[in-house]
Structure 1
Amino acid sequence: MFKVPMKQILVFLLFWTMIPPLFAGSLRFNPISVGDGLSHSTVYSMWQDQQGFMWIGTQDGLNKYDGYGFTIYRYDPLDSTSLASSNISSLTQTTDGMIWIGSWGAGLVEFDPYREVSRAYRHDPNDPASLSNNRAQVVFTDRNGTIWVGTAGGGLNRFQRDSGTFVRYLHDPADSLSLSHNRIWSIDEDPAGNLWIGTDDGLNRFDPQTETFQTFKHDPAQPQSLSHSRIRTLKVVSETEIWVGTQAGLNRFNPLSGIATHYRHQPDDPNSLSGDVITALYPHHASGTVWVGTTNNGLNRLDPQTGRVSRYQNDPRDPHSLSHNNVRAIYEDRAGMFWVATRRGGVNTFRLVPERFQTWQHDPLNPNSLSDDIIWSIYEDREGILWIGTGDGGLNRWDRKHQQFTHYQHDPADPTTLNQNDVRAIFEDRFGALWIGTDDGGLNRLDRQRGTFTHYEPNPDQPGSLSNKDVTCIYEDQFGLLWIGTDGGGLNRWDRATNTFIHYRHDPRNPHSLSDDLVWLIYETMSGDLWIGTGDGLNRLDRETGTFEVFHQRQETPQPSPLYLINDNIRAMYEAPDGVLWIGTSGGGLHQWDRTRQKTQYYTTNDGLPSNVINSILPDENGNLWLSTNQGLSQFDPLAESFRNFDVHDGLQSNVFNPGAGLKTRQGTLFFGGIHGLNEFDAKNIHNNSYIPPVVITSIKRFDQELPVEPPLPLANQIRLPFHHNFFSLEFAGLNFIQSAKNRYVYRLEGFDVNWVRAGTRRYANYTNVPPGTYHFRVRAANNDGVWNTEGASLTILIDPPFWQTWWFYYLEGIVGIMVLSLVIWSVSRYTQNRFENNRRSQELSYARQVQFSMLPKSDLYHETVEVVGKMITATEVGGDYYDFIELEDDQYCLALGDAAGHGAASGLLVGMTKVSVIQAIKTRKRHITLEHFMEQFNAALKASNLQRGMCMSLLLAVIDTRHRRLKVASSGMPYPYYYRKAEDRLLPLTIKGPPLGLLTNIQVQSRTILLEPGDFVIFLTDGFMERLNLQGHIWTHEAVEKALHHICRGETSAANVAQRLVDACNQFANGREPEDDLTAVVLYVKS
């Protein structure tokens, strides 16, 4: 046991109680820095505009922030419409949407955020109606929309916008009713419409009606006067309360009485302000507190009722402390998030809601903390004490009532200490003995009175010893039997009478033995069933016979078993009050086994899980399940079958949690351990972000180039595009800045998209081959907690028809047609029969090409889990290639790829017949009609239709189940599809044999079904690739295609890129020779 002398403990506790409470009322600051795209680390001002964008003024540039990235505006000497200065000191906005900028050196700047142009109003020494000084330190808009400019040396200016002129208010030593000083730091307005102006020498109240000033200054003879006359910042709360920040402290000033209450820094008082030079203020009305920013002393939160101050300062050890102690501005956005601008530290954001998750970690400077950050096990004993097993710090006893940690660690010189510091399992038996399982050290029993341990280790000479020294789990069942799971030694049962262990091991010759010797969990249900989760299957113990009923992964041919697993690595288990078993696997996600109905349901990343590795399952008081994974925590609602995921940005110790490191205390508090500490939370206190995010459409692009729109987006509600711009992309954003990366979107182009497209976190929509017409694009957004803006944003898109589809062209075409017809009638008699035949053939080929292209889908398939892209290169003489995508129910899509034998109109007509048949059959098919059955029926129909001799149709049909990433392929006469498995870097042909349709009366169609993983590709080809000829007359061959595909797929993450690179490789081989047959590639990619 690790022991600390009592004298050291007392000294330590005294030391910690004397430390100023820098982190009282702990806040988690999220920095936004130059590394995130901010133009400069020194920030002076912030503003949220009418649409919801955040504007940040820095020492080098104006930044527009949408939660994802920055658009930066700077002075450009070659652009007269750019900002007049990059040094931004102040920001405000008028009701017409214009941003007004106080610049340091270029005067007042009006910036149009929609057209991104600006206009500067500067000082002109020869014009008394110009701005009095170009150093515009503060810009303020009053309730009437009047713009006031406070300068650094030129006093106060009232801007007359209609004329573009200014009225100046300057200090006059001979006039006591004039401004007290010409350097102005801050401006605010009181409820009566008076302006309050902070200057370098006094606080001024300005009456706009009489245009006179009343001055309040520090008076050493009056202790209740302002603490200093240099007024750096001020905020009006009411007619009787103004907060005034000065060069020497904070003041709560009553303008009616002239009395100021002072708040100063006291070196010996940790509850006083952290510094006296006050540079930023924000009274928070909801909480009644005042936020106070200082120069080089950080941020303070003052409670005026008690006078207590909480300090927030930079801690180099804590990445979520304030980034810099020089605070320049404080701002609260509409969602209630605070923004703190600093000099040299960028911007910090934080929220006042309690942190969702509290993290406990090892602090090398604090012995009264966890002994290590890697947490493997957590247990609550009958006295409410928590016991925590760490990766290299031994066993921790945590008395939460007194916040005291006691460490038990291995001491090689003391055989009575813990025998290993890697603690994997903890359990208290009914007699109060505490059992500790270690990795590479076996089993330990703690004598809590003496603080000593009894060791149980494997001994080859003692058959009744522990089977393995790597203990993973410990459990005492309802009969008082102690069970120990090991990694490599199977299951052990301890016999108290003989102090020996009975072993249950895997025997390959015995199907009723334990399925694997790696035991992850031991779980007893309410009915007394004892379940053993292993690395290779789930086991139910028959206590009478000592045998096991084993449940394994479901095979292609279902076994007669009530529970079907899709992964055999069992990590976690929980029995709900209704008797349903929930099973967590390492790779197969979450399983629900309803034993009453003998039904198994699976939930994976396709259904919303952040990871398919489930390490622990715990219930909360509301019936939800909390799942620890390798990608954060997930809250699962079994009734709604919905997941809500949390990651390191929510305050988790990391995204990786450890198997078995989960605990629900008797008070309902949940604990999960991972690789960087322990998370504690109460599910009832997980506060939701209720802010409904504004949605804006930010741009429309073609070939990644912005299309000019007037009025500009997002002001425009309608745009018109020429017919050749019928492929475009739209970008949009939901302006919620609280974990913006978790904002989600759905969109729809009405008139084109049948259903809403679930885009997940993607913020753009691509469209291709949109026919002329009128469309309405709509987009909705949800915030990080799934609160939707159902109204969203919309844009009407008009695509003009080509000139040959306009009424006047039809009229002209009629006249020309009559003339041409007359000419044809006159000249047809002069054509020879050969000329006539060539003309007929040319028309046939043109018609066939039109038919062929009309059969293709209007756009590629982009789903949140898969991409499917088609690419066709037509031959000089039209071939019979065809592909299509058909949307089915339940997030399923059908893919069709065909190749009609022959060329010209006959093949085009056969393609048309196939398309109509496939769409009709797939759209109306009943569940018992398989792809194979349909293709066999279609073959019989083609054979019965007496096709032209030699005509036939090669066809491949595939159904993609995007929810479960399952692909079924049926093929007859088509080249084998290729399956690239990213995890193994292998390209595999999916061998499916069969003759083309229409040749034989009866055929048997084959199919293949595969489960796909993120990063996998499936490539479907027509024979034009393998039979492509080069100038030397050599063909490309199957082997060459496979080699090219393997090279292309490796490291690629785009279906479109794979299709294009394959075509490029084929063209490179041909070396300029035109294709004799169509080349068609359809590429399926599973997104990560």
Structure 2
Amino acid sequence: MHRFLPGLMLLLLLTATSPVLARAPGVTFAPGAHLRFGHLTIDDGLSQNAGLALLQDRQGYLWFGTQDGLNRYDGYRFTTFKYDPADPASLSYNSVIALAEDAQGALWVGTWGGGLNRLDPQRGAFTRYQPDPANPDGLANPIVTAILPDGQGQLWLGTLGGLEHFDPATGVARHFRSDPNDSHSLSSDAISALLPTADGKIWVGTGAFNTPGAGLNLFDPVTGQAERLAATGQCLAGPNISDLLTDAQGHLWIAYGGFGVSGGGMDRFDPATRTCDHYDSASAFQDQITDNNITDLMLDRDGALWIASWSGGIWHMDADRPGAFTAIRHHPADPDSLTSDGVANLLQDRSGVLWIGMINAGIDKLNLANLQFRTYKHDPDNPDSIASNHVSTFAEAGDGTLWLGTWESGLSRFDPATGVFQNYRNDPANPQSISSDMVMALHADRDGTLWAGTFGSGLNRRDPASDQFIRYQHDPSDPASLLEDQVLAIMRDSSGRLWVSSFGGLSRLDPGARGFVNYPLEFPAVALKQIGDTLWVGTWGGGVARLALSDPASLSPQDAVFAKLRHDPTDPTSLSSNDVWSIHATADGLVWLGTQAGLNRYDPQRGAFRVYGEKDGLRNATILGILEDSAGWLWLTTNNGLAKFNPQSERFRIYDKNDGLQGNEFNSNGYLRSASGEIYVGGASGFSVFDPLALSQNDLPPQVVISSFAIFNLPQPFDAQSDQ
């Protein structure tokens, strides 16, 4: 679409600056999920904050036209081009409103008042093409609103003085103007958008500042005549066309809006049948489209439609569900949200990143690959959001909803289908509320009962029928009470016994029993896992303690014997650390232990450990959680990123907040694999959920361009196209 709205340094360009993920087919927006936008403004080197025109060239550079100069962005820094009255090879005018690249790689720049410019990117020099009253065969208008290279070395130009077919080699332009006495001429000289058709014609959108007679035209370059399309009801009725595009089904989408106008929503027009659907805030879509001033349209690589508006933010419409819009808005309390609801332009680069030119707030970017990680955060303006960003633990209910514990805001029940959270807080006046807002451990029984362990206020059992909590707390006068109130982990074994770990050891609650059986331990018990007939206990400082559940003596604390696995500084095949945060067993009989000093693979047959640390590819060796997906990959939460580990190749791949995760740091109990196979991971900035089998990788090598050359930090001239 071509439209208008009134040292040696090697740089890896924007084709490679996106994270390692390539977007999986189809962008989906989970209800209530958090989006993380990047922001570029004058503080980052942008010459001015109005993103009026966007383009990516064949080398991967991004170009941003603003009201005060043209900017080239390489993913790290900006190079700005401006008008210099002393330099005839500078930009002719600083207000840049249209950009295009031709087949030869030249960049064409349309300005508001300075005509047309051709930039040779290698030399940084402009050739100016401006109206000359003495040359009627040249450009006729200094405001170039749209640029469409014809593939033959010439350009179709939209101006506020009509349509021009311009030959840069000769400087000659053929002029096509509106003639009120000729119904085959353009309906208006105020050209705002140009779009080629498959049969060689051009859709010409006209209109600016409510120009009388403006509308949609189908122009035939062979005859030089235009068909003016008449309004049919609300369709094709707007006088201010801001953009045009064609979708995969051949429909023409028409946007109405711009500076100083009220806008008219948008149309979906079928050129074959001449039928049309209209979308605006007064139509059946009034609950979704809140701003009729549509400034730009864009189709992404999946065929989904993105819609920019003057004051309503952005909407996304799935190609398979016409009329089903997802609104994306600015949230003042969220610095990761869209910078502003005033959006001028949209562009998807070759790596899949969405770039957003704001009307007065700079450039935003959204990596669509990151949407594979659905992240949820607390929204103070939304009572249906999670109560806190400090997510400490998860449990899945039988109906597919998720229970989440937080460090300071109690318990939340999450419905993934709606994105709605139901929050439970401690009420000091209600003994049937949860006993504390610091929830450290959760376990969900098949009958719907939820067990919630708190830090300092004991264990809670939620009755699903009454939605009330029964508390179990330590009573020094009752040896059958909970061993300690600092609950760290909860597990039910294959015999139905509930195990609760704490700083002081273990508590066991047998089916039907009213009291606990307690096992004091020397070290805090932070992780529980049944492997075969053995209870594995990860401790903080004491390694691993194992209890044989099939041995009747184990059920008596006085007779129970815990077999120990501990770190031996003299034995490199021993456990790497006595701080064991997580335990996982794989089908091949191996046991994986997450410790403070790396991932440990334990072979029970050999009694030996193999340790994986930072030298093996981990970014951080504190392994807090271990999950296995259905393909056999291990997913490890750490203190610096989420690690994906292939046990066969013994290789790691690290994901972090730049990939869309809640943050780089995770919490020790904050991990879960759901019944559907999705993985949930929580930290101090919310939680993220993803399908591990749906994550796609971008293994294309990055494009490398030499953009500058320096000797002893002194820039040197060079020709990037030279072979020397």
TM-score in same-fold range (> 0.5): yes
1:564 is aligned, of 552, 574, 587, to 574
Tell me the secondary structure at the aligned position of residue 615 of structure 2: helix
1:398 Cα shift? 4.6
The equivalent residue for 1:984 is none
Q: Decide which structure has greater helix share.
A: 1
Distance in 1 (CA, whole Å) between partners of 2:269 and 2:417 is 43
Q: What amino acid sits opposite 2:652 in the alignment?
A: F
| Deviation of the 1:446 alpha carbon | 3.9
Pick from 35, 46, 50: which aligns with 2:54?
Answer: 46
Q: What amino acid is aligned across from residue 526 of structure 1 in structure 2?
A: G
- Backbone CA RMSD of aligned residues: 3.4
CA deviations 1:484-527 (Å, max 9, x no partner) are 3222x233445786824433232xxxxxxxxx2x2211222224
Letter paired with 2:54: M
**Amino acid of the structure 1 residue aligned with 2:115:** G
Secondary structure (helix, strand or coil) at the match of 2:696 reads coil
| Deviation (angstroms), 1:245 | 2.7
Structure of greater Rg: 1
C-alpha distance in structure 2 between counterparts of 1:400 and 1:283, whole Å: 28
Residues 546, 442 of structure 1: alpha-carbon distance in 2 compared, 3 angstrom cutoff? same
User: Amino acid of the residue matched to residue 291 of structure 1?
Assistant: W
Q: Deviations over 1:807-858 (max 9, x none)?
A: xxxxxxxxxxxxxxxxxxxxxxxxxxxxxxxxxxxxxxxxxxxxxxxxxxxx
Q: 1:657 & 1:418 partners in 2: Cα distance?
A: 24
Shift of 1:338: 3.4
Q: 1:144 to 1:597 in 2, by over 3 A?
A: farther
Contact 2:526 2:537 in 1 (8 A): no
8 Å CA contact 2:595, 2:622 repeated in 1 = yes
Deviation (angstroms), 1:695: 2.9
1:325-474 matches, cutoff 5 A: 325-350=341-366, 355-381=371-397, 386-398=402-414, 406-427=422-443, 434-463=450-479, 465-474=481-490
Secondary structure of the 2:534 match is: coil
Q: 1:567 to 1:237 in 2, by over 3 A?
A: closer
The reply on whether 1:292 has 2:302 as its aligned counterpart is no
Contact 2:448/2:464, CA 8 A, preserved across alignment: no
Corresponding residue for 2:4?
Answer: none
What's the CA shift string for 1:987-1043, capped at 9, x where partnerless?
xxxxxxxxxxxxxxxxxxxxxxxxxxxxxxxxxxxxxxxxxxxxxxxxxxxxxxxxx
Deviations 1:368-408 (A, max 9, x none): 44333322222235565543322223234456678775544
Does the CA contact (< 8 Å) of 1:574 and 1:581 recur in 2? yes
What is the SS of the residue equivalent to 2:693? helix
Distance 1:519 1:23, change over 3 A: closer
Q: Deviation per CA, 1:426-448, whole angstroms, max 9, x where unpaired?
A: 23579986433211112334444
**TM-fit CA distance, 1:132:** 1.4
Could you say which residue in structure 2 is the equivalent of 1:621? 630
User: Contact 1:652/1:679 (CA < 8 Å) preserved in 2?
Assistant: yes
- Name the residue aligned to 1:213: 225
1:380 partner amino acid: E
Change (3 A) 1:193 1:29: farther
Tell me which residue corresponds to 1:788.
none
Deviations for 1:193-232, whole angstroms, at most 9, x for unmatched residues? Answer: 223322232433333333x23241555xx53872134333
- Partners in 1 of 2:255 and 2:574 — Cα distance? 68
Alpha carbons 2:280, 2:286 under 8 Å: kept: no
Contact between 1:185 and 1:199, CA under 8 Å: does it hold in 2? yes
Q: Does the Cα contact within 8 Å between 1:217 and 1:228 map onto a contact in 2?
A: no
Which residue of structure 1 lines up, in the alignment, with residue 585 of structure 2?
575
- The structural deviation recorded for 1:134 is 1.9
8 Å Cα contact 1:538/1:568 also seen in 2: yes
Does residue 565 of structure 2 align to residue 551 of structure 1? yes
Secondary structure at the aligned position of 2:315 is classed as: strand
Matched residues in 2 for 1:262 and 1:636: separation? 50
Q: Secondary structure at the match of 1:163?
A: coil
1:531 equivalent in alignment to 2:541:
no
Instruction: Name which of 50, 73, 81 aligns with 2:89.
Output: 81
Change (3 A) 1:387 1:134: closer
Match of residue 251, structure 1, among 260, 267, 282: 267
Q: How has the CA–CA distance of structure 1 residues 78 and 452 changed in structure 2, closer, same or farther, with 3 Å as cutoff?
A: same
Equivalent positions of 1:502-651 (< 5 A) are: 502-506=518-522, 516=523, 518-541=524-547, 544=553, 545-555=559-569, 557-558=570-571, 564-586=574-596, 588-651=597-660
Match of 1:127 in 2: 135
Residue equivalent to 2:8: none
After TM superposition, the structure 1 stretch with the greater mean CA deviation from structure 2, 457-466 or 573-582, is 457-466
Q: How far did 1:135 drift?
A: 1.9
Q: Deviations over 1:747-804 (max 9, x none)?
A: xxxxxxxxxxxxxxxxxxxxxxxxxxxxxxxxxxxxxxxxxxxxxxxxxxxxxxxxxx
Sort the Cα spacing of 1:118 and 1:578 in 2 relative to 1 into closer, same or farther, 3 A.
same
Residues 62, 72 of structure 1: 8 Å contact kept? yes
- What CA deviation, in whole Å up to 9, does each residue of 1:330-369 have, x standing for no partner? 3333334433323113334446668222234444454444
Q: 1:600 to 1:82 in 2, by over 3 A?
A: farther
Structure 2 residue corresponding to 1:279, chosen from 276, 290, 295 = 295
Shift of 1:693: 3.7
> What is the CA distance between 1:616 and its match in structure 2?
0.9
Which of 220, 228, 236 is 1:226 aligned to? 236
Q: Show CA shifts across 1:70-97 (max 9, x none).
A: 2222223444433222221111112222
TM-score, length-scaled by structure 2: 0.83
Partner SS, residue 685 of structure 1: coil
Q: 1:703 to 1:445 in 2, by over 3 A?
A: same
SS of residue matched to 2:253: strand
Whether the aligned pair in 2 keeps the contact of 1:522 and 1:533 (CA below 8 Å) is no
Q: Is the 8 A contact 1:22 1:310 kept in 2?
A: no
1:266 CA drift (Å): 1.2
Choose which of 323, 332, 341 in structure 2 pairs with 1:308: 323
| Distance in 2 of aligned mates of 1:426 and 1:474 | 6
Output aligned runs, 1:886-1035, within 5 Å.
none
Q: CA 1:146–1:27 in structure 2 vs 1: closer, same or farther (change >3 Å)? A: farther
Aligned partners of 1:208 and 1:686: how far apart in 2? 46
2:72 equivalent among 64, 68, 81 = 64
118, 121, 130: which one aligns with 1:113 = 121
| Equivalent of residue 198 in structure 1, options 180, 192, 205 | 205
What is the CA–CA distance in structure 2 between the aligned matches of 1:551 and 1:119, rounded to whole Å? 75
Which residue identity is paired with 2:216? Answer: L
Determine the C-alpha separation between the residues in 2 that align with 1:383 and 1:342. Answer: 43
SS of alignment partner, residue 43 of structure 1? coil
Question: Secondary structure of the residue that 1:355 maps to in structure 2?
Answer: helix
Rate the CA distance shift 1:262–1:494 in 2: closer, same or farther, 3 A.
closer
Say which of 94, 102, 117 aligns to 1:94.
102
Shift of 1:602: 1.9
- Conserved? CA contact 1:438–1:471, under 8 Å: yes
Which residue type is aligned with residue 523 of structure 1?
Answer: K
Encode CA deviations 1:558-587: one digit per residue, 9 max, x unaligned. Answer: 38xxx513322211111111111111112x
Instruction: Indicate the percent of aligned positions where both proteins have the same amino acid.
Output: 32
If asked which structure has higher relative contact order (CA below 8 Å, sep 6+), I would say 2
How far apart are the structure 2 equivalents of 1:454 and 1:41? Answer: 57
| AA partner of residue 216 (structure 1) | R
Give SS of 1:85's match.
coil
Shift of 1:629: 1.6
Cα deviation, residue 684, structure 1: 2.1
Amino acid at match of 2:429: A
- Paired with 1:616 and 1:238, the residues of 2 have a C-alpha distance of 44
Instruction: Give the alignment of 1:627-1026 within 5 angstroms.
Output: 627-689=636-698, 693-709=702-718, 712-713=719-720, 715-716=721-722, 718-719=723-724
Separation (CA, whole Å) in 2 of partners of 1:238 and 1:368: 37
Separation (CA, whole Å) in 1 of partners of 2:448 and 2:238: 66
Distance 1:110 1:389, change over 3 A: same
